[in-house]
Amino acid sequence: MSYNFDEVIDRSGSYSVKYDFFQEFKKPEKVLPLWVADMDFQSPTEITRELSKVLEHGIYGYSNSKEDYDQAVISWFQTHFQWEAQPEWIVKTPGIVFAISTAVRALSREGDAVLIQRPVYAPFTSAVQLNNRTLVNNPLQYIDGSYQIDFEDFEQKIIDHKVKLFILCNPHNPVGRVWTRQELTRMGEICLKHGVIIIADEIHADFTYPGYEHIMFASIKPEFSQNLILCTAPSKTFNLAGLQASNIFIPNKELRSKFKAELSRQGYHGLNTMGMLACKTAYEHGAEWLKELKVYLTGNRDYIKDFLAERLPEIHMVEPQGTYLVWLDFRALGLKDSELEDMLLHKAGLWLEPGLKYGPEGAGFQRINIACPRQILVKAMHQLEQAVKTYGKIEL
Instruction: Give every CB contact of residue 350 below 8 A, 6+ residues apart in sequence.
Output: 31, 32, 34, 344, 368, 380, 383, 384
User: What are the two backbone dihedrals, phi and then psi, of residue 61, each rounded to the nearest 5 degrees?
Assistant: -75, -175
37 binds ligand PLP (CB under 6 A): yes
Q: Taking CB under 6 A as the criterion, which residues in 188-217 touch ligand PLP? A: 201, 203
246 binds ligand PLP (CB under 6 A): yes
Select the residue interacting with ligand PLP from 169, 196, 243, 376 (CB under 6 A): 169
Report whether 350 contacts 377 (CB < 8 A): no
Let me know if 252 is exposed, middle or buried by CB neighbors in 10 A (0-12, 13-18, 19+).
middle
- Residue with smallest beta-carbon separation from ligand PLP: 95
Closest separation in Å from C-beta 386 to ligand PLP = 29
Select the residue interacting with ligand PLP from 233, 343, 344, 388 (CB under 6 A): 233
Q: Which of 197, 173, 195, 170 is nearest to 181 (CA)?
A: 170
Give the per-residue contact string, 103-142, with ligand PLP (x = CB under 6 A; - = no): ------------------x---------------------
Q: What's the 3-state SS for 9-36? A: CCCCCCCCCCCCCCCCCCCCCCCEECCC
Query: How far apart are alpha carbons 38 and 203 in whole angstroms?
Result: 12
343 binds ligand PLP (CB under 6 A): no
Q: Which is nearer to ligand PLP, 240 or 312 (CB)?
A: 240
- Kindly indicate which of the ranges 40-48, 96-104, 305-313, 314-322 contains the residues binding ligand PLP, using the contact rule CB under 6 A: 96-104
- Helix/strand/coil for 329: strand
Q: Which is nearer to ligand PLP, 277 or 388 (CB)?
A: 277
Let me know if 21 is exposed, middle or buried by CB neighbors in 10 A (0-12, 13-18, 19+).
middle
- Kindly indicate which of the ranges 20-28, 93-101, 189-197, 302-310 contains the residues binding ligand PLP, using the contact rule CB under 6 A: 93-101
Query: Which residues contact ligand PLP (rule: CB under 6 A)?
Result: 37, 95-98, 121, 169, 173, 201, 203, 233, 235, 241, 246
